[in-house]
């Protein structure tokens, strides 16, 4: 049995958009039915995180799993 991990998958070559351009972040949020201001984007490239932020998303630059978890806790107000 295959487990479904994602609600949507956006492949740049399929949609003709690439990071860090705002259109791809807006498209992904639209596919998920979420507002950009309520969305957190995680990526290992700071340039892509900057593009997400400029589009109105919260973003976390991935450097390590513990760091990402700490950043997510901070962003989401988890104590």
pLDDT single digits (tens) 17-31: 999 999 999 999 999
Mean pLDDT score, 37-48: 96
pTM, entire model: 0.85
* Backbone dihedral region for residue 70 (phi beyond 0: left; psi -120 to 50: alpha; all else: beta): alpha
Both structure tokens of 22? 């705002």
Angstrom distance (rounded) from CA 73 to CA 22: 25
């Amino acid at each position: 049995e295959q487990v479904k991990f994602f609600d949507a998958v956006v492949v740049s070559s399929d949609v003709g958009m690439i990071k860090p351009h705002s259109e791809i972040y807006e498209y992904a949020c639209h596919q998920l039915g979420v507002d950009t201001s309520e969305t957190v984007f995680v990526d290992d490239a700071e340039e892509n995180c900057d593009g997400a932020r400029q589009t109105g998303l919260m973003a976390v630059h991935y450097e390590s799993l513990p760091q990402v978890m700490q950043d997510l806790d901070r962003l989401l107000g988890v104590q």
